[in-house]
Amino acid sequence: MGLSERKEREKAELKELILDAAKRILLKNGKEGLSIRKIAHAIEYSPATIYLYFPDKDAILHELMEIGFGLMSKYLVPAFAEQDPVQRIHSIGKAYAKFGMENKDWYDLMFNSEKPMKHIEKCAEEWDQGMAMFNFLTASCKQAIDLLGLKGIDERILALHFWSTVHGLVNLAHSDRLEIIERNQTRQLIDRTLEAAMASIFRT
Amino acid sequence: MGLSERKEREKAELKELILDAAKRILLKNGKEGLSIRKIAHAIEYSPATIYLYFPDKDAILHELMEIGFGLMSKYLVPAFAEQDPVQRIHSIGKAYAKFGMENKDWYDLMFNSEKPMKHIEKCAEEWDQGMAMFNFLTASCKQAIDLLGLKGIDERILALHFWSTVHGLVNLAHSDRLEIIERNQTRQLIDRTLEAAMASIFRT
DNA sequence: AAATTTACTAAACAGTGTTCATTAAATCCA
DNA sequence: TGGATTTAATGAACACTGTTTAGTAAATTT
């Protein structure tokens, strides 16, 4: 009746093959250049076969998104380990921006893709890695608030303020808007703005 | 030799017709739903005709972008008129966010579309409306800095910090990331974060 | 009236995501 | 082992996309 273990393993293997090819194509050709047909060609199967392993293209993008969070954590782990909460938040911001700048397509997938998500419950589950990240930032903000004795500041709003700023910077950089403000200074603009944000938020 | 005035007027009229149809389709079907073929069908011409009036689809999107800035200015003008620079900046932020939230597709076109722009000089010209907006914000920041006697703060960085924050908030809202943080509270989250940003930046 | 310019389009090219009937192979059961 | 059944994979189609080009019909000029 049910699939044998070998069968299931083989099924999982082809699924992995598809994701691997998708990953390669994403890196080489960008988000726009990633197509079902190119994936199929890369793994030498027909396009229709892809649909035996994934319901649609969005499902593939979704799984890529989860892989992307794995890549991002490599940037973030050292920042997470920082002792001083204020310094930690600054490091998180820098690492986040660095990841965003060096992995445009991944970043887009993870933070700018609109999900059809009719069922937000499920989505909250599926974006749990992003959520965990935000929760960690929020906890760090709480620590920083306590440490500095800041009164009347909601750590969730603070975390969102910080996230929005860095997310905004990365997106402005990706759409070349920072180049328009000051040519060839994108990296410096991001660093300086991040520092200014830290200074104003934590009143150093 | 040259086109008669009537001819030129007619040419401009069809161009306007194309842009009008594009605008309608953008509003009805969103950015993804906007296609050359749909525009052609709407104005009852063949798709090829579009290419006699615009070099490519990007050129149409570009002109739509400029129309979008016209729409946006309706939101911003009252904020620009505000006397107190600090209050003015806050109002600009709120109006900007309001425009972004109520005009997702326009916003995307104006602030998230990547331009092929090989020649950044030209682009800076073509994005002059956005640039003018940013310059006005920068000037307001300078005024606020002087008024509050804030030391060692670069108004350009301050303006960028503020812009990034609001831009980030709008984009996070558009990609449903704020819904994940706190369901059905997107508007409040934006308002509160904007207030927190104002408070921390201007130390009120 | 003939020649030329202008305005427009049908058809094609190369691509996209997705579906479905069909085939070939593997597995199961008698 | 032989026949029935399940499974895996696909070719071909559908309905789209942006864009190009050769060709036509109408308006204008000579």
Supply the pLDDT for residue A12.
77
Supply the pLDDT for residue A204.
76
Neighboring chain B residues of A154 at a CB cutoff of 8 Å: 192, 196
C1'-nearest nucleotide to the CA of A50 = D9
What are the tens digits of pLDDT across the range B85-111? 999 999 999 999 999 999 999 999 999
Supply the pLDDT for residue A4.
54
Amino acid at B10: E
CA distance B173 to chain A (A): 10
What are the tens digits of pLDDT across the range A84-97? 999 999 999 999 99
CA closest to B129 among chain A residues: A180
Supply the pLDDT for residue A183.
86
Q: Is the pLDDT of residue A108 over 50?
A: yes
Asked if A180's CB is within 8 angstroms of B124's CB, the reply is yes
B50 and B39 Cβ atoms separated by less than 8 Å: yes
CA closest to B122 among chain A residues: A180
CA closest to A181 among chain B residues: B131
Probe site for chain B from A154, A187, A193, A198 (most B CB atoms < 10 A)? A193
What are the tens digits of pLDDT across the range A57-73? 999 999 999 999 999 99
Supply the pLDDT for residue B126.
77
Question: What is the percent of chain A where pLDDT is above 70?
Answer: 90
Sign of CA dihedral A19, A20, A24, A25: negative
CA nearest to nucleotide D9 C1': residue: A49
d(CA A58, CA A47): 15
Tokens 């000089």 -> residue: B121
Supply the pLDDT for residue A107.
98
Asked if B166's CB is within 8 angstroms of A167's CB, the reply is no
d(CA A109, CA A114): 9
DSSP-derived secondary structure for A64-77: HHHHHHHHHHHHHH
Supply the pLDDT for residue A116.
53
d(CA B38, CA A102): 37
CA nearest to nucleotide C28 C1': residue: A1
Sign of CA dihedral B15, B21, B23, B25: negative
Q: Is the pLDDT of residue A119 over 90?
A: no
Q: What is the mean pLDDT of chain A?
A: 91
What are the tens digits of pLDDT across the range B190-200? 999 999 999 99
Which pairs from B111-114 meet CB under 8 Å and 24+ separation? B111/A172, B111/A175, B111/A177, B111/B167, B112/A112, B112/A171, B112/A175, B112/B171, B113/A175, B113/B61, B113/B65, B114/A174, B114/A175, B114/A176
Supply the pLDDT for residue B143.
97
Supply the pLDDT for residue B6.
59
Q: What is the mean pLDDT of chain B?
A: 91
Domains of chain A: 1-54 (1.10.10.60), 56-202 (1.10.357.10)
Neighboring chain A residues of B179 at a CB cutoff of 8 Å: 120
Supply the pLDDT for residue B1.
37
d(CA B93, CA B194): 7
Supply the pLDDT for residue A118.
45
Neighboring chain A residues of B192 at a CB cutoff of 8 Å: 154, 157
Around Cβ A194, how many Cβ atoms within 10 Å? Answer: 22
Tokens 């907006």 -> residue: B133
Supply the pLDDT for residue B180.
84
Around Cβ B109, how many Cβ atoms within 10 Å? Answer: 21
What are the tens digits of pLDDT across the range A16-55? 999 999 999 999 999 999 999 999 999 999 999 999 999 9
The lowest-confidence range among A3-12, A95-104, B75-84 is A3-12
State whether the beta carbon of B30 lies below 7 angstroms from any atom of strand D: no
Residues of chain B predicted below pLDDT 70: 1-10, 116-124
Supply the pLDDT for residue B2.
41
Supply the pLDDT for residue A70.
96
State whether the beta carbon of B57 lies below 7 angstroms from any atom of strand D: yes
What are the tens digits of pLDDT across the range A144-170? 999 999 999 999 999 999 999 999 999
**How many interchain CB pairs under 8 A, A with B?**
133
